[in-house]
Amino acid sequence: MIHTVLDILKIREDFPILKRKVNGQNLVYFDNAATSQTPKHVIDVIVDYYSNYNANIHRGVHALSQEATDKYEEARIKIQTHFNAAASHEIIFTSGTTHAINIVANGFTSFLKKGDEVLVSAMEHHSNIVPWQMLCERTGATMKVIPMNLDGELLMDKYHALLSNKTKLVFCNHVSNALGTINPIQEIIEAAHAVGAAVLIDGAQAAPHIIADVQALDVDFYTVSAHKICGPTGVGILYGKEAWLNKLPPYQGGGEMIAEVTFEKTTYAGLPHKFEAGTPNICGGIAMGAGLDYMNSIGFDAITTYEHELLAYATEKLLEIEGLKIYGTAKNKTAVVSFNVGQIHPYDIGSILDKLGVAVRTGHHCAQPIMDFFKIPGTVRASFSFYNLKEEIDVLVAGVKRAKAMLS
């Protein structure tokens, strides 16, 4: 039985897309880990921006430009407050988590040398692997992997054993997109700092469920994508401690990021502008703030509690299907169920579910090393949000049973 203080049917009224039909069926949207849906509040903010004050920011003296600048900077402060950063200039607007990680990976080029080591967890999204591999190629540093067990939990004793005075950087996700595992990031950060290493936590999958307090965590870098927290695509943030952001070189050169330019030499602007070359996604930044406003108006405690009930219900019902195996059974996890049924290819199950109006993700979820670890080509992943219903999980379970009957 699912009990919640949230009025889910009322919340669903805020999401126009949830009314749509797919293949003649009611849409059941279970691809929230890839992208969350957008509430009317955020859509209205986007329409308002383009209808009333669309202008370039930071450099115009005219009214529209100043309004847009004010709203953009207000959004930065909202995001600062949400993640409890010490200063708004520690929030760098980016195009998303991928861009944010690349800023840091690029910035460390002159800080690493041959013999240095960087540690990565075994359950990373490609965007938290590839930029660091490129960094290692540039610098000669070595990447080592923090292993995990079959439940999808990091082996923390192995992590502690890997740390040494050679370790310069540790990068790990807060929550795994493919398995749902919530990683013990406080312990990861403290242990890394004890050997003098910096830590980047990829918060892309945590932000929809957990409020990270970057000061309490004492994390050096934290990354977020707006499109997973009811905001638009193509925008996100890099949080960085001021001291680190001052040390890192800019990632891209261009307008907005300069103090003064001559043909002989350019000096850079201060934070956050040093990392924000060119015209940013102004409307996107404002809408990201609106997405956080919306989620906070519902309340993260209520969201987490309800999503856990959905997770428990889905896990129980799916496991009643003979031959179904769930990947990612960590004690501490968010509302993600990754599974396969016997030898059936995940893509085939996903295609049948789509015919029934159920949107799930199939494949390696940009985390091929996880699939290699479990020796599988991919999984079917259903990921839940606070606007999903228990009845929708029943539709998913019935669909998987049907797919199994058709494909076995």
User: What residues act catalytically?
Assistant: 366
CA 275 to chain CA centroid, nearest Å: 20
Query: Which residues between 350 and 369 bind ligand PMP (CB under 6 A)?
Result: 366
DSSP code per residue over 11-48: HHHT-GGGG-EETTEE-EE-BTTT-----HHHHHHHHH
Considering only residues 97, 106, 139, 181, which one is a binding residue for ligand PMP as defined by CB under 6 A? 97
Q: Which is nearer to ligand PMP, 128 or 329 (CB)?
A: 128
Residue 338 binds to ligand PMP (criterion: CB under 6 A): no
CB of 55 to ligand PMP, least distance (A): 26
Question: H or E element: which one contains 389?
Answer: none
Other CB atoms within a 10 A radius of the CB of residue 364 amount to 18
Instruction: Give the residue, chosen from 37, 80, 98, 106, that forms a contact with ligand PMP under the rule CB under 6 A.
Output: 98
Q: How far is the CB of 405 from ligand PMP (least distance, A)?
A: 31
Contacting residues for 223 by C-beta, under 8 A, at least 6 apart: 94, 97, 100, 101, 200, 201, 202, 203, 204, 236, 237, 238, 239
The stretch among 70-78, 125-133, 180-188, 214-222 that binds ligand PMP (CB under 6 A) is 125-133
Number of residues counted as binding ligand PMP (CB under 6 A):
15
The piece of 53-61, 96-104, 153-161, 247-255 that touches ligand PMP (CB under 6 A) is 96-104
> Residue 127 or residue 338: which is nearer to ligand PMP going by CB?
127
Q: Tokens at residue 358, please?
A: 């159920």
CB 338 within 8 A of CB 179: yes
Q: Tell me, what DSSP letter sits at residue 75?
A: H
CB of 196 to ligand PMP, least distance (A): 26
Report residue 69 as tokens: 């600048």
Please, which of residues 128-147 interact with ligand PMP by CB under 6 A? Answer: 128
Q: Which of 121, 139, 225, 281 binds ligand PMP (CB under 6 A)?
A: 225
Instruction: Find the binder of ligand PMP among 90, 153, 202, 256 (CB under 6 A).
Output: 202
Q: Considering only residues 254-283, where is the footprint of ligand PMP by CB under 6 A?
A: none
The CA distance from 156 to 175, in Å, is 16
Give the DSSP letter string of 330-379: -SSB-SEEEEEETT--HHHHHHHHHHTTEE-EEE-TT-HHHHHHHT-S-E
What share of residues in the chain are helix, strand, coil (percent, to 5)?
A: 45, 20, 35
Q: Which of 66, 60, 164 is nearest to 115 (CA)?
A: 164
Among 80, 121, 127, 139, binds ligand PMP (CB under 6 A): 127
Among 30, 90, 96, 286, binds ligand PMP (CB under 6 A): 96
Contacts of ligand PMP in 19-48 (CB under 6 A): 34
Can residue 204 be called a binding residue for ligand PMP (CB under 6 A)?
A: yes
| Beta strand spans in 242-300 (E) | 258-261, 266-268
Give me the residue label for tokens 């401690």. Answer: 241
Shortest Cβ 3–ligand PMP spacing (Å): 29
Residue 100 Cβ vs ligand PMP, minimum distance, rounded to whole Å: 8
DSSP letter string, 124-154 = --GGGTHHHHHHHHHH--EEEEE-B-TTS-B
CB 402 → ligand PMP: shortest distance, Å?
28
Closer to ligand PMP at the Cβ: 97 or 106? 97
Interface with ligand PMP, residue 232, by CB under 6 A? no
Q: Pick the piece of the chain touching ligand PMP (CB under 6 A) from 198-206, 309-317, 353-361, 383-391.
A: 198-206
Closest approach, Cβ 61 to ligand PMP, in A, equals 34
- Residue 126 CB, nearest approach to ligand PMP (Å): 8
Enumerate long-range contacts of 133-137, CB under 8 Å, 24 or more apart. Answer: 134/105, 135/105, 135/106, 135/108, 135/109, 136/112
Q: Are 351 and 338 in contact (CB under 8 A)?
A: no
Binding residues for ligand PMP, rule: CB under 6 A, are 34, 96-98, 125, 127-128, 173, 177, 202, 204-205, 225, 236, 366
